[in-house]
Amino acid sequence: MAVVKDYKFLKDKILGLTGVDLNSYKEAQMKRRIDQLIDKKGIADYPAYIELLKKDKAAMEEFLNHFTINVSNFYRNPEQWQFMDKEVIPELIGRFGKSLKIWSAACSTGDEPYSLVMALSRHIPMNLIRIYATDIDKTILFKAKRGIYVEKSLEDIPKDFRAKYFTKIEGKELEAIAKEKGNEDLRTLRVGYRISDEIKSRVTFKQANLLEPRDYPKDYNMIVCRNVLIYFTEDAKDAVFRRFHDSLVKEGVLFIGSTEQITGYKDMNFTRKNSFFYERVD
């Protein structure tokens, strides 16, 4: 079914309904994803879809989940986590002590902030670890707080962490969890892995929008935001990186994804430690 192509109408209405500014996302990618969703639902045009979003909470959650790109796994790009373990964390502890303030921005299903807790646990007592984790998607945050994962998500975790902090669940136990409200996505899962409460308790989750300046906290020693900004326009990315700079303390570190780079990082008063770690210098 063809979709009416008045994308400006859609962007204006979505901004009013959700506060999400689609102008900050690469148009070709976002429009294609949204058109596929609308076509799949058999809706004739954007105005009809907007009316559905206004009255149907489930449709609104589906839209937010669909337009955000939630691809994550524990210790994604292990060599970068090894650099953080050997170089970055010891340096941060040397500068700021063991009570580090760390923000996992666009945390998706929780793999990243939980990975941070485990990585820090090699250097810092567990009771001192605090991670602030944010994402725009409420459904994804629910899954992050739940802490149940497929085996593929765990493939890069160090073996000792996997053995210590994950419990295999299957059969009737998994079926019972899947029947609980909000856990419908687990119904087709035959085996799951639940992360320990010891790790979960070190993370505070909150809904936040990277395109909203007021959602940026202050005085952080490290910010981790990986493989998200590739979907933003160049202007939006530039604005986000500048806000990350302002959220860091001097000599704080920003950890970005392997698909990203900060163009003009020197003009933003960052220095590059390696391809994926940047340090605030002013």
For 81-136, write each residue's pLDDT tens digit.
Answer: 999 999 999 999 999 999 999 999 999 999 999 999 999 999 999 999 999 999 98
**In this structure, is residue 73 part of a structural domain?**
no
93 and 17 co-located in one domain: no
pLDDT number for residue 192: 95
Structural domains in the chain (count): 2
Please give the mean pLDDT across all residues of the chain. Answer: 90
Q: How far apart are CA 59 and CA 49, in angstroms?
A: 9
| Domain range for 61 | 7-67
Confidence of residue 1 (pLDDT cuts 50, 70, 90): very low
- Dump pLDDT digits (tens) for 225-255: 998 887 788 899 999 999 999 999 999 999 9
173 within a domain of the structure (yes/no): no
Domain boundary residue among 37, 67, 97? 67
In a domain, 34, yes or no: yes
Query: Which pLDDT score is estimated for 183?
Result: 92
Same domain, 47 and 83: no
- 31 shares a domain with 97: no
Q: What is the CATH number of the domain that holds 257?
A: 3.40.50.150
Tell me, yes or no, whether 232 and 147 share the same domain. yes
Does 218 reside within a domain? yes
Question: Could you read off the pLDDT of 167-223 as tens digits, one per residue?
Answer: 999 999 999 999 998 898 898 899 999 999 999 999 999 999 999 999 999 999 999
Same domain, 86 and 47: no
